[in-house]
Amino acid sequence: MKKLTAVLLAAALLILPAQAAGSAPTPQAASAVLMEKETGTILYEHHSHDKLEPASVTKIMTLLLTMEAVDSGQLKLEDTVTVSARAASMGGSQVYLKEGEQMSVNDMLKAVAVASGNDASVALAEHLAGSEEAFVERMNQRSAELGMNDTCFVNCTGLPAAGHLTSAHDIALMSRELILNHPDIRTYTTIWMDTLRDGQFQLANTNKLIRFYEGATGLKTGFTSEAGYCMSATAERDGMELIAVVLKSPTRDERNESAKSLLSFGFANYTLMDVYPNQALPPIDVLLGEQSQVQPVLAQSSRILVDKSQVNQVTTQLRLCENVEAPVEQGQKLGEMAVLVDGQEQQVIPIVADRAVDRLTVPGIFSRLLRTLFMGS
């Protein structure tokens, strides 16, 4: 009987439909987006431009502006932030800052990224801009610069406020800006447990994927009764980092599982691959130049995002000029390399001169002419 049961179970598993690697995920959320960091390509979206409350996922912009100030030298991690009465009065998630308490920028960042401290967010905002209102103006200005057209911030915390709205698409944009250009944020977003106040206050990351999802790098969770359970989750595997945004999930577990399913779909189906010319780039003749040739090179490395099923269908085409007249500037365009996937052009990489070539002077022209005549004779 046991053998018969095992056989029937095995047969049932073969018959029952399973989610294929290539099938799209079905996140339990009102809105969702999956984006690849390096190219900014959207791999999946569901109601991605719906304007919704983001709760504490708002703090990604607070972290972005703070990291921009740190990386530009305007702010130092060792700088001391003094807590105002208003910052100390923030409810919700907090690290229980007291009015007049002083804490370093480094610890404030830790409090925001790990514990989602509303009090620490306001303290940082006031330290950077003088007031939360002025900081919010910067948040909205930066949002506009990033093309976050669905977004209007009213505060720096994500606490419920009329008109404080964004979208999964816009959250992906600001998440990408943060992790792409300020990778040191991982110092904070990958913390699982830590302390503040010389070990007197315990911190535990609100993002449980940091411990329970392979390659997780961040980024920020959020919850209010109005916003539901929200998250911007980031993870990296094999040199590719993905951003999964989930808004208004009904429960914490469904939010986490939805983010994981989006990330796993991306890792299962896509890859970043380096693309090179299919032949050595030949030197280009320089007319009337002090050197007769210049070497063309790719202006940038070429990494393209492709479906794993199309890796063997990636080809390149070179389009180079036959010659160029001096003077030639270093970096001057000499052609381009087209990258094709299954015959369809996906990307064009400029090909440029690797060095400058000056134009021959009149005496130089005569000197070259004489050399040519003598060599010919």
Beta-bridge mates of residue 223: 229
First to last CA, the chain: 102
Q: Which of 31, 48, 84, 116 is catalytic?
A: 116
Exactly one of 56, 93, 143, 249 is catalytic; name it. Answer: 56
Stated as kind and residue range, the H or E segment containing 268 is helix 252-269
Q: Is the peptide bond before 219 cis (omega within 30 degrees of 0)?
A: yes
| Cα distances (angstroms) measured from residue 194 to each of 81, 97, 187, 203 | 20, 17, 12, 5
What does each C-alpha distance from 220 to 56, 88, 141, 153, 302 come to in angstroms?
7, 22, 21, 17, 30
- CA atoms of 157 and 132, how far apart (whole Å): 10
Q: Any idea how long the chain is?
A: 377
Rg (CA), the chain: 28
Residue 333 known to be catalytic: no
Catalytic residue among 31, 48, 59, 143: 59
- Vertex 265: Cα angle to 263 and 271 (nearest 5): 90
Does residue 56 have an active-site annotation? yes
Q: Which of 179, 176, 234 is nearest to 207 (CA)?
A: 234
Tell me the C-alpha distance between 90 and 251, whole Å.
Answer: 25
Q: Which two tokens stand for residue 299?
A: 């202006």
Q: Return all residues near 77 (Cβ < 8 A) that are at least 6 apart.
A: 70, 104, 105, 106, 109
Type of residue numbered 3: K
* Alpha carbons 274 and 147: distance in angstroms, whole number: 28
Any idea which residues carry the catalytic annotation?
56, 59, 116
